[in-house]
Amino acid sequence: MDLIKITVPEFGADISLAYATATNFTGKPVYENAICYLHIDAAKALKDAILSAENLGYRIRIFDGFRPSEAQWVLWNHTPDPFFLADPRRGSPHSRGVAVDLTLTTPDGKPLEMGTAFDDFTPKSHHGNNQISKIAQQNRLILLGIMTQAGWDFYRNEWWHYQLFNAQKYPLINDTEIPEPMMART
């Protein structure tokens, strides 16, 4: 397993894991422990994106990285919507450690306008949606440019989701396989 911990001091990104709080679409914490992991390949691409964002005067805020397969089931069981969630039987790029959900902020941490909140499961979340403000469209394009130049692919239905191009080649990872578990042990 090649997951590494993503930390604020080492990466310079803000980390605000939505699924470690009740402020997510399930209304309750999914992760017991707020630990951000990524596969080493994704971590390298994230560092490139963070540097590009800094060069343009922005910071990156991470909402989610590696998501244990068990967590994917929790999300799917709550909202089984294949337009916004990967069916856990197929596996999510998040559960492979090669996807990240994020946004851009100003250097002092103010989120840029993106037209919708994170995990807004509506067509307004789609890349290229022109029913949002011009500023939000511009900010999404800046994020898209930063991420694609750093080697990330995007998911057309979610402005916040990026994954490595060859995500399916990485194995699915369960919570029991990681150094520090994220899920509650029952």
Q: How far apart are alpha carbons 71 and 53 in whole angstroms? A: 29
Q: How far apart are alpha carbons 68 and 181 in whole angstroms? A: 9
Q: Is 158 annotated in the active site? A: yes
Q: Which residues, listed in sequence order, are joined to residue 68 by a DSSP beta bridge?
A: none
Q: How far apart are alpha carbons 63 and 14 in whole angstroms? A: 9
Return the residue matching tokens 């709080």: 21
Q: Of 10, 70, 113, 158, which one is the catalytic site residue?
A: 158
Return the residue matching tokens 């490595």: 164
Q: Which residues are catalytic?
A: 158
